[in-house]
Structure formats: C-alpha cells, structure tokens
Chain A
Amino acid sequence: EPEVTQTPSHQVTQMGQEVILRCVPISNHLYFYWYRQILGQKVEFLVSFYNNEISEKSEIFDDQFSVERPDGSNFTLKIRSTKLEDSAMYFCASSERRGNSPLHFGNGTRLTVT
C-alpha cells in the first residue's frame, strides 16, 4: 500500500538554526498538510498546500515557517530560525480530495531544539 514517507525521523538542532523537514506524499494525492504534535498533546494544524500554493495556514505558521514543493514528489517544511518551543513531532499528511477523503500521515520527524 502506498505511504507517506518523511525524513529525517529525528532532527536535533540548536536554537536559531534553520531546519528543513522532508516529505514524499502519496503520488496521486493532491492535498498536502503539515501538522505538529508537542509531546503528549493534540495534533495541531500548521498549513495545507494545493496546486502549488498554500491554501490555509494556522496562526502557528508564522513568518518563520515556509513550505515548498520543489519537484513533483517532495514537499518540505522549513523553519528559518528555530526556537525551543518548536520542539515537537512534525507530521506530513496527504489526501486525494478535501472533506470526504482520509488523511494519510507519515511517521513523523521528531524535532528537538536545544
């Protein structure tokens, strides 16, 4: 069964450094998302992406964050200058459609900012 893949599985970085989290969504899916989950807490929406542009973003997704689909397969989340509170599990997800289509999540990247 096709799956969403994320790399790396774990990233440790120092405060103020830039990080790029990578995702390969399922190939025939059209909608892509980033969610994050601080340890033991809820899954929070960050941003959705469709047709090569951001379709929605939450208030968490400020100017420090950006997303890109640099080629036909990868979908990246960049955090420009990491803060301690950015430490979390970041999940990429994709879906065929909106509304009545399930989200398929990757296994996540655990980001630790020291």
Chain B
Amino acid sequence: QQPVQSPQAVILREGEDAVINCSSSKALYSVHWYRQKHGEAPVFLMILLKGGEQKGHEKISASFNEKKQQSSLYLTASQLSYSGTYFCGTDNSGNTPLVFGKGTRLSVIA
C-alpha cells in the first residue's frame, strides 16, 4: 500500500523551514526517509520505528505518529544543499519491503 506524501512540491528561500508529510492507510512498523538529488540514487536520511519517536539529523528531523499512521519530516533553516526529492518509504510489518511514496520535490533558492 503506497503511502501518500504532501505537498507534492515546495519552494523555499534559504533559511526557511518546511514540513513534508507521509501518511498510510495501514498500520506502520517503520517509516524511512530518503533524499534523491537529480540523476542520483536515493540516499538514506533516517528510520523511525513504531513507538512515536522523533529523530534528528543535523537540521533535519522527523516524527512518527503511530496512531495516525503518519510521519513528518522537518527541515529547518534550509540550505541550498537540501534541494532534491524527498521520499518516504513505509514497512507495514517489519518483514515487508519498503514501498515508497510519490515524493516531494523541494527547491531551495538563494
């Protein structure tokens, strides 16, 4: 079951914040976040496991609300290097392959 990401695209000025959401219609075991730059492979950012934890990675952090079956990725004080497409990947049981959302294209401009 493919997760739903929103927004589809966002444009930020350097230093602005953004939130990307990922939701599922089924219970989630884990949510993964990846960033893909144009012409490159997706690169792992972080995993969140059921339990409602929040994780941080420099100025990028994420939360996981197990009850609402959704995760949010927070990008604060954005930098030009944050530009790319962000994908969430979800695993419903801990033993199934990741299914990715359609992605959120983030553009950071000077």
How many B residues have CB within 8 A of the partner chain?
Answer: 27
Interface-central residue, A44, A91, A102, by most chain B CB under 10 Å: A102
Contact between A98 and B95, CB atoms less than 8 A apart: yes
Least CB distance, A110 to chain B, in whole angstroms: 9
A positions within 8 Å CB-CB of B: 33, 35, 41-45, 48, 55-56, 91, 98-108
> Do residues B49 and A100 form an inter-chain contact, with CB atoms below 8 A?
yes
Which of A45, A55, A104 is within 8 Å of B44, CB to CB?
Answer: A104
When chains A and B are docked, how far (Å) is the Cα of A5 from the Cα of B66?
35
Q: How far is the CB of A89 from chain B (nearest CB, A)?
A: 9
A45 proximity list for chain B (CB < 8 A): 97-100
Specify which of B89, B95, B97, B98 lies most central, judged by the most chain A CB atoms within 10 Å of its CB. Answer: B97
> Please, how many angstroms separate the alpha-carbon atoms of A42 and B96 in the complex?
18
Partner of B98, one of A103, A107, A108: A103
| Assembled-state Cα–Cα distance A69/B90 (Å) | 26
Query: B residues near A, CB below 8 A?
Result: 2, 29-30, 32, 34, 36, 40-44, 47, 49, 87, 89, 91, 93-103
Contacts of A56 in B (CB 8 A): 96-97
State which of B40, B44, B47, B103 has its C-beta within 8 Å of the C-beta of A42: B103
Q: 9 A-B residue contacts at CB 8 Å?
A: A42-B2, A43-B103, A45-B100, A55-B97, A98-B96, A99-B29, A99-B93, A102-B47, A103-B42
